[in-house]
Amino acid sequence: MTTSNDRPPHTRHRPVMLQRCLDLLAPALDAPGATVVDCTLGLGGHSEALLGAFPQVRLIGLDRDTRALELAGARLAPYGDRATLVHAVYDELPAVLARLGTPRVAGILFDLGVSSMQLDEADRGFAYSQDAPLDMRMDQTTGLSAAEVLNTYPPGELVRILRAYGEEKFARKIVEAVVAERAKQPLTSSARLVTLIRDALPQAAKRTGGNPAKRTFQALRIEVNGELSVLERAMPAAVDALAVGGRIAVLSYHSLEDRLVKRVLADGARSTAPAGLPVVPEEYQPRLKLLTRGAELPTDEEIAENKRAAPARLRGAERVRERVR
């Protein structure tokens, strides 16, 4: 019998809030020759829909994961040279656009966090629900693995990471268990880490909030991939790369990402004029217009069909003015 996991990864993949992302970007992508950037290509679901919905658009797809680029490349091959795929982290967007001779674009999409493929491929170590080596690198060609972080970081730094990136209240208890374990033998297995976390937490903390390892795995993944620092650089760069009339849509999956996205978009949509000016000069006028009221959520129907959509938060904005220097 064929199960869902026997199918090619891209056929199992359901792009989150797909139609709403297309609707947000659509007004910017109708012009002939418009370029849209998918900054988090993954398995190419959003990119395939963009290329199909807007026949004149050119797409640039970025991903740090070489396996994702390989799979998305096969998926998008029918679109020929309309799709240009680049091995890059999304904070490298300005350099990628400069190299391609496209300094300004009409649309930008971010689908943040870990991809479906990375969760589904057990040997990547992202999922706390299955045993695997503790890797968690989105780009397996570079950087420290989660195992190296757990086995080499000072205890105080591990506590900081779990608190800052996982919002884990019991960070100190978990780190104490990790330090005791690594003194006996290096931690290399996701299942062993899950067991350590379960044993370290008070009984009451294990009865609510889903898998008790969830926050620790999130924190390690963010640290290993530098996700928040990358996003902090990438968001202003993406706004700068938009042509006037261009639009940006950002899907985030936890509060740390969403707060950062919200801040950058809200800052761009705010006048910077000193209070009390009778006429606001051009250089103080907002550069962005917000397209979503707060963060939009997936529908109940989508969550029923795709549980990974549940934490998604979508924000969008339109570039309405050049930066006056």
> Closest Cα to residue 171, out of 186, 185, 182, 156?
156
Confirm whether residue 90 is marked as ligand binding. yes
- 3-state DSSP helix/strand/coil percent for the chain, to nearest 5? 50, 15, 35
CA-to-CA separations, 46 to 13, 49, 156, 251, in angstroms, rounded: 10, 5, 40, 11
Residue type, 120: D
Sign of the torsion formed by the C-alpha atoms of 7, 252, 233 and 147: negative
Neighbouring residues of 220: CB distance < 8 A, sequence distance ≥ 6: 134, 136, 146, 149, 150, 161, 166
Backbone angles phi, psi at 45, to 5 degrees: -65, -50
Q: 118 among the known binding-site residues?
A: yes
45 is in an annotated binding site: yes
- Paired with 133 in beta bridges are 189
Backbone angles phi, psi at 84, to 5 degrees: -115, 120
Degrees, nearest 5: CA angle 28-31-35:
65
CB 13 within 8 A of CB 117: yes
Residue 111 is labelled as binding a ligand? yes
Q: Which residue ranges make up the annotated binding site for S-adenosyl-L-methionine?
A: 44-46, 63, 90, 111, 118
Q: Which residue ranges make up the annotated binding site?
A: 44-46, 63, 90, 111, 118
